[in-house]
Amino acid sequence: MPKIDVYNVEGKKVSTCDLKEEVFGIEPNETVVHSVLVNYLANQRQGTQSTKTRAEVRGGGRKPWRQKGTGRARQGSIRAPQWIKGGIALGPKPRCYKYRVNKKEKRLAIRSLLSSKVLENNLVVVDKFDFKEIKTKQMATAMKNLKVEEKALIVLPSNNEVIQKSARNLEGVRTSSVNTINVYDLLKYNKLVLTVDTIKKIEEVYA
């Protein structure tokens, strides 16, 4: 069972924490992580791009010149795709890119990334964030004390307005909760900051 040190917001070690092997100690599955990431990015696409076909552009109701005898190529409409201001052939139309991935794959991908954070020493555990008021400087000091000075994802056990608003103006820092963590954020942010309560809740959900 993996063990990890627990720090307070002053950056001092206060205890150690046991991590469940089946959540934080598995061998990362890169294939599944990639599959779930591609699914996540596809589901974020709006699919609102659109072009007009020759049936939708304005004009072109009359044949521009007669079929034969002019010496020019035959044309049926000035709004055919080869004409300037003509319609677009085979252009994109609004569509939905969403598709589903097996729930077991999603859970395995999350567990794989949590385990890789432990393997790479990119997991930082805090006993708690007990801020009394919304203050960006307070969160910046805490991040500095914890030696987290790069891109960091702070995962909370549940929504906490004081912590979320204290961190939102810090460059490279993002807050999330256990029920909204995803593969994209875990890959994007180098450091993962969890509280002891967050770990317990993650283990309840993903064990």
How confident is the model at residue 2, as a pLDDT? 79
Assess whether pLDDT exceeds 80 at residue 1: no
Q: What is the CA radius of gyration of the chain?
A: 27
Q: Are strands 152-156 and 123-126 parallel, antiparallel or unpaired?
A: unpaired
Query: pLDDT digit string (tens) for 78-119?
Result: 999 999 999 999 999 999 999 999 999 999 999 999 999 999
Contact 157, 198 (CB under 8 A): yes
Query: pLDDT digit string (tens) for 15-45?
Result: 999 999 999 999 999 999 999 999 999 999 9
% pLDDT > 70, the chain? 100
Q: What is the pTM of this model?
A: 0.84
Strand order in the sheet with 152-156: 13-18, 3-7, 123-126, 191-195, 152-156, 173-177
Burial class (CB in 10 A: 0-12, 13-18, 19+), 26: middle
